[in-house]
Chain A
Amino acid sequence: MIRITGLCKNMQNTTLLRNVNLELESGKILGIIGPSGNGKTTLLLSLCGLLPFDQGEITVGNKSISARESGINSEALWEFRKKSGIVFQHLHLFPHLTVLGNIIEAPMQVNHKTKTEAEQEATQLLEKLGITQHRNKYPEELSGGEQQRVAILRALAMNPEVLLLDEPTSALDPMRSGDVRNLLRQFAHSGHTVVIVSHSVRFLKGIADYLAFMGKSELIEMNTTEKLMNYPDDPRTKEFLLYSELN
């Protein structure tokens, strides 16, 4: 479950987020679309407690943080961060660890799983995305699409209540993004919440329960995927959808 109320974020006299409000129940997948530079990544970073914000409150599951708490290194913030996992737009895999190492590092170090246990779970995940044969390679030896899948698995392995993904399929072919879609759907159906930022409306159409459109620093509208695709309220949403269909 996610609830964002009155979220504002300024940086160097520019407004990155203006009064963002959003609510999403568990087991659902939300897709966020919108033009480049409008604050989608900024929203995700705030949502997982990695970026301090100036006003408002964010609730993930049973943990909330206020604007004040988001800026100070407190126990509350650390607890809040545990709730969600994120797949970064630019992945940021650990270059000194193998594929397997990237995935089992946090389960072993943070959740104190044994190596065999963590490896077993990782292997299952690797199989689902078809990169088992690369398990002992280092990130730089992987293709962009392979790296993307490793980053997704690294976040999934911690089994977070909420999973945030920033452009998770930009480098994947249709078949591979189908694998990712299945995996995320499965994850959501087991009671987790998923938020996906993507430029690929087609990908979101096939997976998201809801869609939200991000205008400049603002969440313009949010609706079920069906409704937002077919009957957008705002002219800016209409225009954006028109362009993405043309491509």
Chain B
Amino acid sequence: MHALTAFSMPALRWGGDPSGGAPYVYADPANPQSYTGFDYEFAEALAREMKMKAEFVPTDWESIVASLQRKEFDVIIDGFEPTEDRAREVLFSKPYYLFRLQLSVKRTDKLISTLEECKKHGRTVGTLVNCAASRLLDEGGYKSKGYQDPVAAYQDLELGRVDAVLMDVAGEMFYARQNPKLKAVGKPFKSGAYIVGIRKEDSLLLAKVNAAIERLINNGTVERIFRKWQLWDEEQLKLRSQQQPVFEMTNTKLNWSEGLIKLFKAASVTVLLAFGAMMIAVTLGLPLAFGQSNGGPFTRVACTVYIEFFRGTPVLVQLLFLYFGLPVIGITLPGWLTAIVGLGLNYAAYESQIYRTAFKAVPDRQWQVAYSLGMRPFLAFRRIIFPQAFRIALPPMTNDFVALFKDTSTAFAIAVWELATAYRELANATQSYLGIGLVVCCYYLAMSLPLAHYAHKLEQRLQRKSTGILSSGADK
């Protein structure tokens, strides 16, 4: 009993995103069960200083503030910067690190060396979503593309899917500095700070955290940690001085009219994805259905393998595979095209099964009648079998199309700026999950309801022509 109480120090539960989170906090490659990173070490030191026990709660970067509010953890330590919108929701501690932003381009790029040149030449700049860099790009009206993690951003830079990447120096050092295909251009610029985020009502905790940070800075612990990660520079000395160091508060306000336009653009992307993918699915499903039921032994197996593969693995994994896997063998598609192709290939597997059942439902004798009238198989199929099968296939196909509309949201995983991605970004940036969420739902409904309506109309029209294929073909 007595021994236990010695260990039962109060826990300091801190949240951070370990996926693509190096060098902040990430799974230790040498020991994947545990985590490492400068924020991890800082959190450990902070807890010790507060006579508490650090307890890491892995979370998702985009929704980190919402998770804090939901009390999944008590503090945010994850390269977290103070911004105006966050100030409404979160208390900020003293800064423990002053960061800057670094622009990177391909080593072969002779044209671009500043952000302004990116704008002038219409280049796209990649960055993480919901961070100082992304806000700077948004405000400045640069063409940009948001990523969930830095690995994807720098890989896309290598592959030419974006023309430059703007990132915290910490991230740039870890992910890009060693890459021979990339180079940093210009000096690091704009300074911001990493702080600890705390719930509004926890002002007591804030005071304790602030006191601990001050001691950690003054006794050199912070310096030791950041030196170890090669992130220490003269700039950091400002942290020691008595007065509050100067850092710019990143400014974000949601401009509703601009937000709606942004969402509208994203909705158009969603429509493009859905229609493009459905086109591929509907077309490719046909040979698949045929191959599986009428092909030779090899074709049969090949089609079955294809169908079971795409139905048996998550579409999200398939998209990631296409996006990051294909470039390895030299095929580099832009994100939106990857999404169309990926979703199309996936849904083709489902469409093929719908076709197969539909064709089976048309009696064999219909083929024989067509043959007896002198029609060859292709003609018989086109004029006699297909129209009957189509009527059977239409309702399940409509269902699939509506499902596909919703599945376009998986494209966020490969940084396609469609409606769901736009929602996450805008809502996270403004913390207005409810309002923007309602608008986004309206957009989705505005797309799927007319679709369902027209499909229903078409069904009815075909239905009026004849209600059952069985009425004149009920025998063997």
Contacts and interface: CB of A to CB of B under 8 A. Distances in A.
Interface of A: 45, 48-50, 78, 81-82, 84-86, 88-96, 105-106, 109-111, 138-140, 147, 154-155, 158
Contact of A140 (B374, B387, B472): B472
B466 A95 contact: yes
Q: Which of B371, B372, B475 has the most CB of A within 10 A?
A: B372
20 contacts: A81-B374, A82-B374, A85-B372, A90-B473, A91-B472, A91-B473, A92-B366, A92-B369, A92-B473, A94-B388, A95-B388, A95-B472, A96-B466, A105-B384, A106-B374, A109-B375, A138-B465, A139-B472, A140-B471, A158-B374
A138 B363 CA distance: 18
B368 interface: yes
Contacts of A50: 368, 371-372
Interface string B319-362: 00000000000000000000000000000000000000000000
Contacts of B376: 78
Given A50-B368, A92-B365, A96-B391, A106 B373 contact: yes
Contacts of A109: 375, 379, 383
A154 B384 CA distance: 14
A96 B372 contact: no
B472 A92 contact: yes
A138 B466 contact: yes
Contact of B375 (A91, A110, A155): A110
Contact of B372 (A86, A95, A138, A147): A86
Contacts of B388: 94-96
B12 to A, nearest CB: 71
Interface residues of B, number: 27
Nearest to A77: B371
Contacts of A82: 374
B87 interface: no
A154 B468 contact: no
A81 B369 contact: no
Contact of B365 (A90, A138, A147): A90
Contact of A110 (B363, B373, B387, B466): B373
A48 B371 CA distance: 10
Contacts of A93: 472-473
B474 interface: yes
A16 to B, nearest CB: 14
B366 A94 contact: yes
B469 interface: yes
Nearest to A85: B372
Contact of A95 (B374, B379, B468): B468
